[in-house]
């Protein structure tokens, strides 16, 4: 059975039992995994759920979220790459209702939501009209602007606010504008859309937790109450993670939380049996969690006073852990892993998963488990006492691969298809085609944790529609293998070189060890001086020397090669030469005295970083990729002796470059000039 769907030029064939396990696919209407009955075009990998294929979608709609113009139905995102839905803020690549004039988009799930104007919402809390949505089908993943908790159930939505987005739980939208609070009876508290302005260094409870939502406030008493306390506080609380009840202390007081070890000056909770005084947010701390920084489950402990712990240094921030207060530590015998509560539960470190009591620990040898291998051994040989796979079948190649311990490939410039670096022994190769894998790359596990990311990462050799991927850690484009996160709405991916980095680093550019830090806003890299953003991971000095390295600089190779030098060039971190001597021997342009460079002391050769390793060090020579503005694919080449001029800037393409080999074009261009190339 076939149908001709308006969104695709080929007929779609009915598929009775489409299985995600056998062929991963997303429905291009609702963008959810395709399972069961569906329609598809296997040639184009175009799939729709049966119900989505049979939806009667109007070619144009007038939607209340965008009343200015009608929205037009398009079968794919009108932008290069993925678009972002203006309601739920999720990325999409399939069907969309679009306003071309305003670049306004609603993917199909959001366009079909039923909404109505919410009447009588007070202007004192929000200046724009709100829409009441009875069921948003879990499309909205943001937090409530009132209580700062994840959106769920019935919601109120503002279509006028873009950033920050404004959504409210129904309960938060219907809060009373004035209340009498039992612990401050002198005046009523007034509901405000945000906390009152406090001095810059205020240490009150709301400023310490950086509360951004609605508050109940009394300006006469300087008393502020968060919705967290108003909605979710009760005089006595019982939680599963602690065996005794907690009682709310009926007055504000200064204290040190026995769980997280940080100061508090609000109304704490008290355990009369354990004699513990804690923040309300700390009451619900889970007993056992798993983080990618450590291979075992770590457990909350608040009674380390009697334990003999050799190292009381937090393994995340590398500052001292005060064992008089709570911390997370590894209960495994002979494992001395310990971390501050705030470090272990940081959103960049922990994904929020709570481990149950009696959880069977993750194997320390997880990379060797059969389920986690991506190769099948076809033939083995004995070398000494070891059995080594001499022939394998790798999941990412159609033919068997043979192991080579010595000698060269047929092409001395061959590169590994996994890490894209020049081939060195031992390696596996295909006798039928030019496919090479270093032995280490062939043995990479299917899944691995990594300290750069809070979720488990999966090995991948797939790339975007242009033929390459982008490493979010070192900010380089790469081909070959990488590790990606396939959690919903998580686009994290890194290349193999960054996957080899750990949470600590000893780098020759600095005398002290460096430790991985997730939030680096307000700092800059001490090597390239790039200003770091909040989402950038970087390495900082463990001794607090105000020294930082972004991952791109931390992962630079320590040696490189230059065609006119028989020695390896060494990565060098400072130069006291005369200003007239500061130039690059390859491009013959000046070097900045405080920038890293590659240097050969024997031959006195100096090269810029990019001149030595190229603009595309992790793009495999000979591989192709596409762009939106040139009709032919480009090939990655390395010009050593015959260096043609760049089509855009006219300078010679010395080293790595891109080449269009079609006879009608036949030109070469620098990577950095590629964006200026327009047809």
Question: Is 46 in the same domain as 13?
Answer: yes
Answer positive or negative: Cα dihedral of 465, 471, 476, 482. negative
Domain that includes residue 391, residue range: 374-443
CATH number at residue 459: 3.30.60
Q: Is the peptide bond before 164 cis (omega within 30 degrees of 0)?
A: yes
Q: What is the pLDDT of residue 363?
A: 41
Residue 489 lies in a domain: yes
Among residues 324, 345, 366, the one where a domain terminates is 345
Question: Is 267 in the same domain as 313?
Answer: no
Residue 382 lies in a domain: yes
Question: Is 383 in the same domain as 436?
Answer: yes
Q: What is the pLDDT of residue 407?
A: 61
Joined together, the tokens standing for residue 155 give 């919601």
Residue 665 lies in a domain: yes
Q: What is the pLDDT of residue 314?
A: 93
Specify the pTM: 0.66
Q: What is the pLDDT of residue 606?
A: 93
Report helix, strand and coil shares of the chain as percent, to nearest 5.
10, 30, 60
Q: What is the pLDDT of residue 22?
A: 47
Place of tokens 């695709």: 8
Q: What is the pLDDT of residue 516?
A: 95
Question: Is 305 in the same domain as 317?
Answer: yes
Residue 514 lies in a domain: yes
Q: What is the pLDDT of residue 221?
A: 75
Return averaged pLDDT per consecutive 10 residues of the chain, 679 residues in all.
Answer: 83 76 68 82 83 84 87 84 80 85 85 81 87 79 84 84 83 86 68 86 74 86 77 72 79 82 82 82 89 90 57 87 89 86 93 79 49 84 87 92 74 79 89 90 91 93 87 92 87 92 94 92 91 91 90 94 89 87 89 92 92 88 86 88 88 88 90 80
Number of structural domains found in the chain: 8
Residue 578 lies in a domain: no
Question: Is 380 in the same domain as 430?
Answer: yes
Q: What is the pLDDT of residue 234?
A: 62
Residue 134 lies in a domain: no
Residue 350 lies in a domain: no
Q: What is the pLDDT of residue 303?
A: 60
Question: Is 240 in the same domain as 224?
Answer: no
Q: Report CA-CA distances (Å) from 214 to 149, 155, 290, 664.
A: 12, 16, 33, 64
Q: What is the pLDDT of residue 436?
A: 92
Q: What is the pLDDT of residue 197?
A: 84
Question: Is 425 in the same domain as 459?
Answer: no
Question: Is 476 in the same domain as 511?
Answer: no
Coil, strand or helix at 17: strand
Q: What is the pLDDT of residue 379?
A: 92
Residue 279 lies in a domain: yes
Question: Is 188 in the same domain as 217?
Answer: yes
Joined together, the tokens standing for residue 307 give 């334990």
Q: What is the pLDDT of residue 409?
A: 54
């Amino acid at each position: 059975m076939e149908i001709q769907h308006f969104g695709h030029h080929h007929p779609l064939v009915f598929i009775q039992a489409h299985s995600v396990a056998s062929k991963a696919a997303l429905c291009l209407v609702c963008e959810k995994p395709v399972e069961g009955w569906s329609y598809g075009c296997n040639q184009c990998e175009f799939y729709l759920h049966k119900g989505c294929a049979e939806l009667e979608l109007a070619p144009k709609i007038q939607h209340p979220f965008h009343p200015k113009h009608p929205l037009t139905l398009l079968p794919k995102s009108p932008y290069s790459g993925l678009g972002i839905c203006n309601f739920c803020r999720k990325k999409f690549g399939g069907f969309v209702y679009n306003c071309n004039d305003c670049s306004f988009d609603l993917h199909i799930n959001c366009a079909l939501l039923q909404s109505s104007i919410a009447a009588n919402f007070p202007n004192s809390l929000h200046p724009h009209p709100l829409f009441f949505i009875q069921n948003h089908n879990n499309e909205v993943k943001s937090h409530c602007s009132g209580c700062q908790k994840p959106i769920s159930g019935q919601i109120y939505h503002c279509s006028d606010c873009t950033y920050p987005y404004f959504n409210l739980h129904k309960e938060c939208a219907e809060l009373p504008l004035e209340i009498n609070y039992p612990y401050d009876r002198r005046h009523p508290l007034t509901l405000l859309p945000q906390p009152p302005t406090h001095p810059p260094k205020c240490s009150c409870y709301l400023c310490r937790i950086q509360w951004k939502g609605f508050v109940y406030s009394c300006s006469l008493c300087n008393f502020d109450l968060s919705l967290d306390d108003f909605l979710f506080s009760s005089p006595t609380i019982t939680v599963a993670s602690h065996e005794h009840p907690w009682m709310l202390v009926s007055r504000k007081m200064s204290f040190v939380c026995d769980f997280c070890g940080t100061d508090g000056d609000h109304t704490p909770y008290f355990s009369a049996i354990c004699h513990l005084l804690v923040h309300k947010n700390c009451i619900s701390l889970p007993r056992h969690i798993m983080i990618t920084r450590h291979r075992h489950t770590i457990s909350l402990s608040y009674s380390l006073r009697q334990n003999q712990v050799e190292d009381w240094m937090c393994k995340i921030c590398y500052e001292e852990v005060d064992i008089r207060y709570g911390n997370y530590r590894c209960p495994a015998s002979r494992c001395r892993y310990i971390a501050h509560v705030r470090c272990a539960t940081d959103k960049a470190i922990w994904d929020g998963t709570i481990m149950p009591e009696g959880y069977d620990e993750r194997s320390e040898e997880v990379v060797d488990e059969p389920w986690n291998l991506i190769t099948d051994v076809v033939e083995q040989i004995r070398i000494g006492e070891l059995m080594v796979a001499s022939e394998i079948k790798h999941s990412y190649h159609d033919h068997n691969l043979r192991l080579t311990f010595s000698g060269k490939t047929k092409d001395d410039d061959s590169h590994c298809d996994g890490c894209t670096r020049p081939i060195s022994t031992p390696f596996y190769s295909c006798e039928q085609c030019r496919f090479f894998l270093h032995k280490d790359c062939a043995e990479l596990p299917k899944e691995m944790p990594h300290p750069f990311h809070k979720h488990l990462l999966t090995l991948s050799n797939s790339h975007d529609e242009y033929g390459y991927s982008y490493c979010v850690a070192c900010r380089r484009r790469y081909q070959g293998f990488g590790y990606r996160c396939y959690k919903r709405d998580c686009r994290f991916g890194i290349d193999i070189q960054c996957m080899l980095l750990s949470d600590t680093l000893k780098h020759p550019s600095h005398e002290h060890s460096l430790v991985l830090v997730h939030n680096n806003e307000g700092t800059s890299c001490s090597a390239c001086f790039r200003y770091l953003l909040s989402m950038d991971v970087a390495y900082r000095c463990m001794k607090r020397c105000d020294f930082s390295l972004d991952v791109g600089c931390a992962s630079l190779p320590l040696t490189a090669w230059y065609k006119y030098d028989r020695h390896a060039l060494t990565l060098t971190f400072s130069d006291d030469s005369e200003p007239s001597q500061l130039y690059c021997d390859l491009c013959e342009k000046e070097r900045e005295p405080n920038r890293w460079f590659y240097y050969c002391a024997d031959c006195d050769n100096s090269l810029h970083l990019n001149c030595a390793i190229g603009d595309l060090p992790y793009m495999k020579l000979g591989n192709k990729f596409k762009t939106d503005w040139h009709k032919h694919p480009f090939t990655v080449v390395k010009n050593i002796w015959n260096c043609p001029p760049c089509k855009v800037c006219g300078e010679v393409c010395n080293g790595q470059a891109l080449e269009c080999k079609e006879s009608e074009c036949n030109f070469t261009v620098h990577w950095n000039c590629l964006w200026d190339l327009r047809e």
